[in-house]
């Protein structure tokens, strides 16, 4: 028998991001809210779930009520699979929160209910209202990236690219942060697809960065994808010489994107730099944020495509790197 029903709600707009939960235990109920500037709705739901489970005693069953089907898939499908694999692949998004949730997943029997409408459910309506109120009360947040990065003197444009999917394949997105160093003009680009793979999105991000350049230039692509770098700097030319075939005679996966990259790479002087993901490099963090916003838009049924222009990058870029 379910001892508690835990409602989750989030509100995210222009960096004002908040979460709310309501835990109903028979007649009595308890509420909680919190904020996390620039967080994705996915991350906010994890916040709400983690906070709402804190006071639940071991062994007491909890029904999680959410409007997001992928939150349900995360805990019923993806997380068990990742645990079986020993989390051998790239750490899941918001790993800090998922890791904190794992003990609760083990100690509390969980079930999930997808709520397609809040009509007639005052608990759900209150929970949603509390999240919106918490977000509205926030001070305007600064862009979450900060710090500095050093690039070579001969680079005119630096672009950070990132791509990913919530399941591989699954709802996917890419993000690009592109800075014209002489002027500081910065472009923030993002896009996505209903179903694609991590690798395709990583390659697409590089292609979109290069396609956005309006004239021949010296550009540095900074990415945490070794795969994308190897495709562009090692494998592509060999595949091309063999008539777009790998050594085993099979066509490369994502050949359309690879051939697009082949045409774009020759238009510029391109240098690739690998950066460690989620390690604090500001451009990489912002590209990751754009990627996740695109995925969130896909999941919400909206358009993931967006292009924004800034007069200066939201972090410091130093010259003189090697």
- Chain CA centroid to CA 13, Å: 16
First to last CA, the chain: 63
- What is the rounded CA–CA span in Å between residue 108 and residue 216? 58
From 156, 224, 285, 296, active-site residue: 224
CB 192 within 8 A of CB 304: yes
From 193, 288, 289, 296, active-site residue: 288
Secondary structure (3-state) at 107: helix
- What is the rounded CA–CA span in Å between residue 36 and residue 32? 14
From 51, 93, 130, 163, active-site residue: 163
Is 163 known to be catalytic?
yes
User: ∠ CA 32-51-119 to the nearest 5 degrees?
Assistant: 50
From 68, 202, 220, 285, active-site residue: 202
From 60, 121, 278, 321, active-site residue: 278
Is 278 known to be catalytic?
yes
CB 207 within 8 A of CB 268: no
Is 296 known to be catalytic?
no
- Minimal CA–CA distance to 49: which of 1, 94, 2? 94
Active-site residues: which are they? 162-163, 202, 224, 278, 288
């Amino acid at each position: 028998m379910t001892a508690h029903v835990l409602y989750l709600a989030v509100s995210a707009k222009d960096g004002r991001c908040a979460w709310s939960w309501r835990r109903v235990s028979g007649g009595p109920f308890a509420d909680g809210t919190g904020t996390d500037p620039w967080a994705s709705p996915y991350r906010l739901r994890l916040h709400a779930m983690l906070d709402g489970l804190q006071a639940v005693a071991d062994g007491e069953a909890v029904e999680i009520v959410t409007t997001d089907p992928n939150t349900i898939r995360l805990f019923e499908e993806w997380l068990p699979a990742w645990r079986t694999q020993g989390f051998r692949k790239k750490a899941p998004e918001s790993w800090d929160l998922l890791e904190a949730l794992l003990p609760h997943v083990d100690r509390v029997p969980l079930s999930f209910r997808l709520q397609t409408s809040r009509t007639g459910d005052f608990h759900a309506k209150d929970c949603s209202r509390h999240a919106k109120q918490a977000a509205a009360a926030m001070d305007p947040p600064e862009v979450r990236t900060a710090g500095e990065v050093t690039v070579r003197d001969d680079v005119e444009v630096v672009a950070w690219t990132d791509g990913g999917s919530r399941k591989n394949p699954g709802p996917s997105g890419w993000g690009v942060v592109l800075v014209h160093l002489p002027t500081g003009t910065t472009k923030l680009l993002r896009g996505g697809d209903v179903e694609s793979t991590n690798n395709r999105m990583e390659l697409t991000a590089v292609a979109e960065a290069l396609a956005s350049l309006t004239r021949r230039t010296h550009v540095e692509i900074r990415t945490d994808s070794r795969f994308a770098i190897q495709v562009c700097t090692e494998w592509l030319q060999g595949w091309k010489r063999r008539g777009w075939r790998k050594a085993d005679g099979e066509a490369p996966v994502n050949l359309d994107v690879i051939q697009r990259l082949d045409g774009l790479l020759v238009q510029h002087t391109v240098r690739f730099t690998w950066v460690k993901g989620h390690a604090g490099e500001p451009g990489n963090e912002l590209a990751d944020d754009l990627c996740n916003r695109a995925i969130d838009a896909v999941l919400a049924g909206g358009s993931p495509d967006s292009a924004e222009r800034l007069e200066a990058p939201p972090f410091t870029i130093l010259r003189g790197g090697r």
